[in-house]
Structure 1
Amino acid sequence: MSFSTPEALWLLLLAPAAAALYAYASRKRAEALAAFLGSAAPAAVSRETARRRVMGAALVVGAVACLAVALAGPRFGRTLRETAQESLDLVVALDVSESMWAEDVAPSRLDRAKLEIQRIVEQRPGARVGLVVFAGEAFLQCPLTTDRSAFRLFLDAAEPELVPLQGTDLGAALRVAGVALEEAADVERPRAVLIVSDGEAHEGSAEAEADALRDGGATVLAIGVGTDEGGPIPLKRRGRLVGYKTARGGDQVTTRYEGAALREVAGRGGVYRLDRRGSIADEVARQLDALDQAVVGGERYEAYAERFQWPLGLALLLLLAERALWLVPEARRRALADA
């Protein structure tokens, strides 16, 4: 038998402290009764009441001791465990073109996309994840890593200002994602690329790049962000709204979701629509679960079983028993009073 937090056993000292506190309180109660009732004080407290007080104190002291043992985390008995490391390599290609600032999906296409990406990544704690940002060109923002804090930092920093050349080059994004996968190649790890975009692709050979990725063993998925109705494109400088994008004639530009380019690279079954309806993170996660994931570095080992539930349960039972000591006589007293 061992304890996961043996220093918590010092809390067992609270049990005798609770007993001493009870004895002190009982003495003070007796002194107060004697001062108030004089020689009639012993008759004012029935033997049954005194017995219940002693039993109640014993139950509370026992509960305190059990809670201290539970906090110490007792472990005994052996159980067989197995460690497994998820083997997926996932590169997320995030569209940071100006149209992703549109607010037809609240709070904006870009902010909503970041939230969904974070949800998907959090569901894959053992995967290596990387980030590509793209507009008219593409850059590797975060190489494949298991460091979720680093990935989150790079994801939060992804803004249109990072890519000077505006536009939407899906082909460039897929090409950079493929390079990121090859640089960290591991034949035992399945690979996937997740494109997150509003689909307004104007440049590049996206379909050919997607075919090349699939030929290399990678799965290509896509999240399409935006609505069919669309919305205006806010123009921001250092995070502040300075106006809305207009055409050469001065008319306000409306950006709408266009799924054709995404369907070309991911196929009809590989595009997930992110609009006003709600999160699609679970759907994407299920698709990633379907990929063949090998166990890397898995091993079996024996460990002590955690048994803190036993003293914790006993402590709760003792406290319930202490309450019952007073609830039952009280119910009887009320019944007699009503009669």
Structure 2
Amino acid sequence: MNLQFQYPEAFYLLGFLFLFIVLYIFYQFWKKRSIKKTGDPVVVNKLITNHSRIKTVLKFCLVLIAFGLGCIAVANPRKPDASSAEARKGIDLVIALDVSNSMLASDIAPNRLARAKQFISKLIDNLKDDRIGLIEFAGNAYLQMPLTFDQSAARLYVSSAGPGAVPTQGTSIGDALKKAEIAFGEESDRFRSIVLITDGETHDEDALDKAKELAGKGVMINTIGIGSPEGTTILDTATGGPKKDQAGQVVISKLNEQILQQIATVTNGTFVHLESAEAAVKTVMSQYTEIDKKALGDTSLYTYHSFYAWLVVPMLGLLLIELFIPDRKKTITPGSKKAKITDPIKAKA
């Protein structure tokens, strides 16, 4: 595994190095101008002859290097332990689940939504090495769970799915397909597929166009039809009776097989009228058996060896060195050998 940085955005801090250098240069110019304004430059320079420019520059360079090491340490260089996670082979699968009120119809017992959840649960049992994502939709679509290997989390999200999760009613299949495309992202090059579970009761004109667009990108959509073509009434949770439209007519919710068959056909997928969950899962999984599955490391399970300490220790060392380096020249004490040699009067004697 290659070295990586947990917080690469920390490298932007290195831009301050250039700022510090510019400020230091301006400070040196300001210092020279101040000396000129103080008086005769020759006299002033004699007064500050014990000041060492070389040591000042050295101290500044040490601070710059220490700051650079600190920035890299903040980025946290690390190396993943390959033995802590296995490379899995599989597909990226987004489940788009219809949670509109029509899914509460009971033309299949106990109701459409409960049967859909049963199907998803059995489908997850067969997705051993695949990443799973979940989208719930009605009038609008919402990404409930991004792609993950965590099957337990997937089951939890599916169990809590219901009409209350989506504020706007309807059946926006097109929006669900758009959100699924976003959920796939652009990083993985594995095979991508959508399992669309709905009664298909929609007037969404964008659904088929979006399906064709996804087909051009190699995405397969398998559609699962829930309900009966004859339809049934929908329970109105407000009144406790059958739901009625604005004209006072009882609403009959029917399975729209045509739109689901069209979406599956244009994406080389399959349409399944859900009656038996086991049979439906078998049909869907048969679509994926011949797919070339590429390996993908499950990085969520990695443990890492961090190397920031290797940078922090020398950073602190450089700061300590800078602290103890004086910015004055070494003074020659009277009576020393050097003083005797350089003293012109004693040299003549």
TM-score for both structures, normalised by structure 2: 0.57
Query: Match for 1:111 among 114, 117, 136?
Result: 114
Q: 2:156 aligns with which of 140, 153, 166?
A: 153
- State the alpha-carbon separation in 1 of the partners of residues 219 and 272 from structure 2: 18
Gaps spanning 5+ residues in structure 2: where? 1-85, 299-349
Residue 274 of structure 2: aligned partner: 274
Give the secondary-structure state (helix, strand or coil) at the position aligned to 1:244: coil
Aligned length: 211
Aligned equivalents of 1:171, 1:131: Cα separation in 2: 15
- Residue 234 of structure 1 aligns to a residue in which SS? coil
What is the aligned counterpart of 1:95 among 79, 93, 98? 98
Counterpart amino acid of 1:207? L
Instruction: Name the structure with the higher strand share.
Output: 1
Alignment of 1:134-153 (within 5 A): 134-153=137-156
How far off its partner does 1:204 sit? Answer: 4.4
Please list the CA deviations of residues 34-86 of structure 1 after superposition, one character each: whole Å capped at 9, or x if unmatched: xxxxxxxxxxxxxxxxxxxxxxxxxxxxxxxxxxxxxxxxxxxxxxxxx8723
Counterpart Cα distance in 1 of 2:173 and 2:202: 6
Aligned-residue RMSD, C-alpha: 2.2
Of 185, 188, 192, 1:186 maps to 188
Which of 1 and 2 has greater Rg? 2
Shift of the 278–107 alpha-carbon distance from structure 1 to 2, 3 Å rule, reads farther
Instruction: Give the aligned partner of residue 287 of structure 2.
Output: 287
Mapped to 2, the partners of 1:295 and 1:134 lie a distance apart of 30
User: What amino acid does structure 2 have at the position aligned with 1:223?
Assistant: I
Instruction: Note the 1:223-242 alignment, pairs <5 A.
Output: 223-236=224-237, 242=240
Aligned counterpart in structure 1 of residue 242 of structure 2, from 241, 244, 262 = 244
How far apart are the structure 2 equivalents of 1:290 and 1:139? 31
Shift of 1:242: 2.3
Matched, 1:201 2:206: no
Aligned partner of residue 141 in structure 1, secondary structure: strand
Letter in 2 for 1:101: L
1:278 CA displacement? 6.7
Give me the TM-score of the superposition, normalised by structure 1. 0.58
Letter matched to residue 286 of structure 1: S
Q: C-alpha separation between the residues in 1 aligned to 2:144 and 2:297? A: 28
Equivalent of residue 133 in structure 2, options 125, 130, 133? 130
Per the TM alignment, residue 284 of structure 1 is displaced from its structure 2 partner at its CA by 0.9
Counterpart in 1 of 2:173? Answer: 170
- CA shift, 1:207, in A, is 1.3
CA 1:267/1:293 → structure 2, altered by over 3 Å: closer, same or farther?
Answer: same
Aligned-pair identity (%): 37
2:103/2:113 contact within 8 Å kept: yes
Q: 1:276 to 1:144 in 2, by over 3 A?
A: closer
State how 1:298-317 maps to structure 2 within 5 Å: none
Q: CA deviation at 1:297?
A: 5.8
What is the distance in 2 between the residues matched to 1:297 and 1:203? Answer: 38
TM superposition shift of 1:101: 0.4
1:294 Cα deviation after fit: 2.4
- Tell me, yes or no, if the aligned pair for 1:229 and 1:256 is still in contact at 8 Å: yes
Deviation at 1:295, TM superposition (A): 3.9
Q: Distance in 2 between matches of 1:296 and 1:150?
A: 19
Aligned residue for 1:290, secondary structure, equals coil
Per-residue deviation at 1:270? Answer: 1.3
Is the partner of 2:291 in helix, strand or coil? coil
Q: Secondary structure at the match of 2:185?
A: helix
Could you tell me how far apart the structure 1 residues matched to 2:294 and 2:169 are?
39
Residue 296 of structure 1: how far off its partner (Å): 4.2
Report if aligned partners of 1:105, 1:276 keep a CA contact under 8 Å in 2. Answer: no
Shift of 1:277: 8.9
8 Å contact 1:167–1:203 — kept in the other structure?
Answer: no
Return the alpha-carbon distance in structure 2 between the equivalents of residues 119 and 277 of structure 1. Answer: 7
Distance 1:276 1:229, change over 3 A: farther
Asked whether the 8 Å contact 2:98–2:137 carries over to 1, the reply is yes
Confirm or deny: 8 A CA contact 1:196 1:224 kept in the other structure. yes
Amino acid at match of 2:179: V
CA distance in 2, matches of 1:106, 1:119: 17
Partner of 1:212: 213
What amino acid is the match of 2:285? A
Q: Distance in 2 between matches of 1:186 and 1:277?
A: 30
Structure 1 residues 171, 84: closer, same or farther in 2, change over 3 A? same
Specify which of 261, 264, 270 is matched with residue 263 of structure 1: 261
Query: Residues 69-125 of structure 1: CA distance to partner in whole angstroms, max 9, x if unpaired?
Result: xxxxxxxxxxxxxx8723210000001111110011111101100110111111011
C-alpha separation between the residues in 1 aligned to 2:145 and 2:295?
A: 24
The separation in 2 between residues aligned to 1:273 and 1:162, in whole angstroms, is: 25
1:227–1:275 Cα contact (<8 Å) kept: no
Task: Identify if the C-alpha distance between structure 1 residues 130 and 277 changes in structure 2 by more than 3 Å, giving closer, same or farther.
Answer: closer
